[in-house]
């Protein structure tokens, strides 16, 4: 059973609970490292906690939710080995897995509704990296991250 880590800040407590339940209904185990009450917090701390679970292989993929999804994605993408994408629709959610081998999806409770969020999660979790021509491009992203990029 795939393990999915989920994190949220104070702007997304309600959506986190609904998305966690939805992911579990799809047959995944969910590791919750987000906050469960509406108390001010700092999204970089929560993004880091979630991404640590992916880097350590305790979880395979992550779902990060804040007000817009942008803050979580910015923080997550600073962590070596994380490729996080902000998505507000299903097409990008599917392609970020298939073409970019993204391991984290981010979105915002203040941007999309719960049904759209569920469809984004379903598209992201249901997609697989396609390799092929995309492998070389993802490798370039890794090379940039590791300071090894050559044009």
| Residues labelled as active-site residues | 66, 99
Angle (CA) 53-106-116 rounded to 5° is 130
Give the HSE-up count for residue 6: Cα atoms under 13 Å, Cβ half-sphere: 25
Looking at the chain, the number of H-run helices and the number of E-run strands are: 6, 5
Tokens of 89: 């629709």
Distances (CA, A) of 5 to 72, 107, 126, 133: 13, 14, 16, 29
């Amino acid at each position: 059973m795939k393990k999915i880590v989920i994190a949220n800040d104070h702007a997304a407590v309600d959506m986190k609970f609904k998305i966690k339940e939805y992911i579990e209904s799809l047959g995944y185990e969910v590791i919750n490292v987000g906050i469960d009450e509406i108390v001010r917090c700092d999204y970089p701390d929560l993004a880091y906690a979630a991404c640590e679970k992916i880097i350590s292989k305790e979880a395979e993929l992550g779902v990060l939710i804040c007000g817009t999804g942008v803050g979580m994605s910015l923080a997550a993408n600073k962590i070596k080995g994380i490729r996080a994408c902000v998505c507000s629709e299903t097409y990008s959610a599917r392609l970020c897995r298939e073409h970019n081998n993204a391991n984290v999806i981010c979105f915002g409770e203040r941007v999309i509704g719960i049904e759209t969020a569920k469809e984004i999660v379903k598209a992201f979790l249901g997609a697989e990296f396609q390799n092929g021509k995309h492998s070389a491009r993802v490798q370039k992203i890794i090379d940039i991250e590791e300071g090894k990029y050559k044009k």
